[in-house]
Structure 1
Amino acid sequence: MQWYKVFSSEQAMQNSLTMNKPVKLTAGGKTLCLVMTPKGVFAFHDACPHMRFPLHQGRVNPFGEIVCALHSYRFNMETGEEAEQRGSDLDCCPLEWREDGLYVGVA
Structure 2
Amino acid sequence: MRKFTLGTSKEQIIYMINERSIKRVLVGDKKIALVRIEDEFFAFQSFCPHRGASLLEGSINSINEIICPLHQYRFELKSGRVSAGSCADLETYPTSLTENGLVITLP
Relative to the length of structure 1, the TM-score reads 0.90
**Following the alignment from structure 1 to structure 2, what is the Cα–Cα distance between the partners of residues 53 and 77?**
17
Q: Which residue of 1 aligns with 2:7?
A: 7
Task: Give the aligned residue type for 2:8.
Answer: S
Please list every run of at least 4 consecutive aligned residues from structure 1 whose deviation after the TM superposition is greater than 4 angstroms: none
Unaligned 5+ residue runs, structure 1? none
Superposed CA RMSD in Å reads 1.5
Residue aligning to 1:105: 105
Percent identity, aligned pairs only, is 28
Check conservation: 2:73, 2:85, Cα contact below 8 A: no
Q: What are the superposed Cα offsets for residues 12-65 of structure 1, whole Å, 9 maximum, x if unpaired?
A: 112111111110111121110000013711001111111111211111012211
How many residues are treated as equivalent by the alignment?
107
Instruction: Name 1:18's counterpart in structure 2.
Output: 18
**Whole-angstrom distance in 2 between the partners of 1:41 and 1:18:** 11
Task: Tell me if the contact between 1:28 and 1:106 (Cα under 8 Å) persists in the aligned partners.
Answer: no
Q: What does residue 37 of structure 1 align with?
A: 37
Q: TM-score, normalised by structure 2?
A: 0.90
User: Gaps spanning 5+ residues in structure 2: where?
Assistant: none
